[in-house]
């Protein structure tokens, strides 16, 4: 299994974060009985001071470099990843994608229908490089903006409906897709540090969403149990 994390700022994380990618790595080490590798073209965190993805300073310095790989970017969404994914999958031989995208698209770039079209394009491009690819997709978790911006909240809800339809339409036995369940108990004041980006508790909840989907859908690993720190 060659896993690639694909996401926006919630997935790349910023300097000092553990990231949900780290929590997922811990989980796989505890529960997955076979060989696996985390792959991707990037390995750093976003450095707010430098306004660039150049920080190596993860919350756990012992997080090994080989497990830090990803395709995630601060301010990047389906719109940005769709043109990159075929070459990235081909180069890094990814066969399993864990994808958390859409919030940045809806917040700054595209409406729900356009965002869903870019998600479908992304999946088509990824499969062009690896026809037997499988993927888990996480619906958008609305951030603090949705609490006061009613049209934005509606766009998030509409996109999640369209994403679920895309997963149902496009999943095949050859290239299965799973829609992860968004964390039911995700609380912005507790599970983010700024209304958008996950705190340690939020990192665990995001990792659990992917881990539980993989366990239930494909028999990968076990149900998620948080590990320290």
pLDDT score of 10: 98
Q: What are the angstrom distances between the C-alpha of 98 and each of 16, 90, 191, 207?
A: 22, 16, 20, 10
Q: List the end-to-end C-alpha distance of the chain, in Å, as a whole number.
A: 26
Q: Which of helix, strand or coil describes residue 121? A: helix
Quick check: pTM over 0.95?
Answer: yes
Identify the H or E element spanning 97.
Answer: strand 96-100
198 HSE (CA, 13 A, CB side): 25
CATH 3.40.50.1110 fits 2-218, yes or no: yes
Q: Dihedral sign, CA of 114, 210, 39, 66? A: positive
Contact between 195 and 149 (Cβ < 8 Å): no
Contact between 86 and 6 (Cβ < 8 Å): no
pLDDT score of 89: 98
pLDDT score of 229: 58
Q: How many CB atoms lie within 10 A of CB 146?
A: 22
CA pair distance 191, 144, nearest whole angstrom: 12
Quick check: bond before 229 cis, omega within 30? yes
Domain residue ranges in the chain: 2-218
pLDDT score of 228: 62
Pick out the chain residues at pLDDT < 70. 228-229
Sorted by sequence, the CB contacts under 8 Å of residue 138 that are 6+ apart come out as 98, 99, 100, 180, 182, 206, 209, 210
CA pair distance 53, 135, nearest whole angstrom: 25
pLDDT score of 135: 98
Contact between 22 and 59 (Cβ < 8 Å): yes
Task: Burial-class residue 141 by CB neighbours within 10 Å (0-12, 13-18, 19+).
Answer: buried
Q: Which of 50, 32, 42 is nearest to 11 (CA)?
A: 42
pLDDT score of 227: 73
């Amino acid at each position: 299994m060659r896993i690639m994390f694909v996401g926006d700022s919630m997935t790349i994380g910023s300097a000092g974060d553990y990231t949900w990618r780290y929590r997922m790595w811990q989980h796989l080490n505890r529960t997955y009985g076979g060989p696996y590798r985390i792959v991707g073209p990037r390995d750093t965190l976003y450095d707010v001071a430098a306004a660039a993805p150049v920080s190596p300073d993860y919350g756990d310095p012992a997080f090994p470099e080989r497990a830090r790989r990803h395709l995630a970017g601060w301010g990047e969404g389906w719109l940005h990843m769709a043109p990159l994914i075929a070459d990235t999958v081909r180069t890094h031989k990814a066969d399993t994608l864990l994808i958390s995208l859409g919030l940045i698209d809806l917040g700054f770039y595209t409406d729900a229908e356009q965002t869903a079209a870019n998600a479908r394009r992304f999946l088509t491009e990824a499969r062009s490089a690896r026809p037997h690819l499988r993927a888990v997709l996480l619906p958008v978790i609305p951030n603090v903006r949705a609490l006061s911006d009613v049209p934005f909240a509606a766009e998030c809800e509409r996109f999640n409906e369209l994403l679920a339809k895309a997963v149902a339409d496009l999943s095949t036995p050859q290239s299965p897709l799973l829609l992860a369940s968004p964390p039911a108990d995700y609380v912005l004041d507790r599970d983010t540090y700024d209304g958008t980006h996950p705190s340690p508790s939020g990192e665990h909840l995001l990792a659990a969403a992917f881990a539980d989907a993989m366990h239930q859908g494909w028999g990968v690993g076990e149900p998620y149990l948080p590990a320290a720190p």
